[in-house]
Amino acid sequence: MDFAQTIINWYQKYKRDLPWRHTSDPYVIWLSEIIMQQTRVEQGTPYFDRFAEKYPTVADFASAEEGEILKLWQGLGYYSRGRNMHHTAQMVMEEHGGYFPSDYNSLLKLKGIGEYTAAAISSFSANEARAVVDGNVFRLLARYFGIDIPINSGKGKKVFTELANELIDKEQAGIYNQAAMEFGSLVCRPKKPDCPICPLKAGCTAFRTGLINALPVKIKNQKIRERYFYYIVVIGKNGILMNQRGAKDIWENLYELPLFETSALVDAGSLIAQKNFINSFGSKVHLKSVTGPIKHILSHQKLFATFIEIEYNQEQFVPDKNWKYVKFEDLEKLAQPKIIFQFLENFFILKDRILT
């Protein structure tokens, strides 16, 4: 069985009609590849459409404000991707004269572009014979060839990448790569793969040996860190009190509510009695409402967020340097973590406040 041609034949018949498959423009393909990382196609496609419409060229992207990009990115998570994209667009303007490169080696030099993304862009835009090895391809190859080396180990990445490059159809590199990814996504799925209709099943080791659910093998991720966030909701004459996060932590430069973090879960009464809270809001604080804790899962962190609405004696208020009142009508202009903008949306609906 010709593995590559079988995949390509299937793809030509069953591929999804996705917007970025109608172009060979490396800039547009780059947009789609970065946006779709760690994101389902159904979730990411509307974001791709919005970015492609607002920034039709790399020059448009490069000249945008970072806050504007992060606001458009809001809800996708992994916000460093958006920041890296902005930096990359500016590099393309400065170092490539505004022409987004399409060759693998040049792409690797751009911020936020690794081997996988460089292979995808170069093969899709210029048919360069570089195998794209994403989670879908890892799974497909592990099952078909019966490879039990962990896919997230150094040895595993080397073995699978070498195999993928041996299999690639050099005359149809771009189509083959897209076919392998699509096949893994739609047929050789992580759970309940569609083996009965699979055109590769006759040669599939996992299907023949009953190891479908055992492959691919993956080393367990690092221990999940648990964090306890207490967001303070303060409504004043000038709007709502907000905080801009700093660097070297999650959600860099995004806006949230004033935050107090603890090492363990505590009740709201204990939180407002803590010294650092009193130093900011004083000791005469009235609790108006408490929401949470709400669990929010990140890649290697599990957050428990509690939202505490308060009234306080403003004469005792000593605000953090990053805190400022934001008018209600300006909130939508600020890029916020998903858990924050969802809370605020529900908060104002429940409180029946009119943002005018």
Other beta carbons within 10 Å of 83? 17
Strand extents, DSSP E, 195-328:
225-233, 235-236, 239-244, 255-256, 259-262, 285-297, 301-312, 323-326
Please pick, among 33, 128, 182, 309, the residue that the annotation labels catalytic: 33
Report d(CA 209, CA 346) in Å as an integer. Answer: 51
With b for 16 or more beta-carbon neighbours within 10 A and e for fewer, the 1-40 pattern comes to: eebbebbbebbeeeeeeeebeeeebbbbbbbbbbbbbebe
In whole angstroms, how far apart are CA 188 and each of 104, 180, 198, 215, 305?
28, 10, 8, 11, 37
Whether 33 sits among the annotated catalytic residues: the reply is yes
Specify the DSSP class assigned to residue 175. Answer: H
Which amino acids are annotated catalytic? Answer: 33
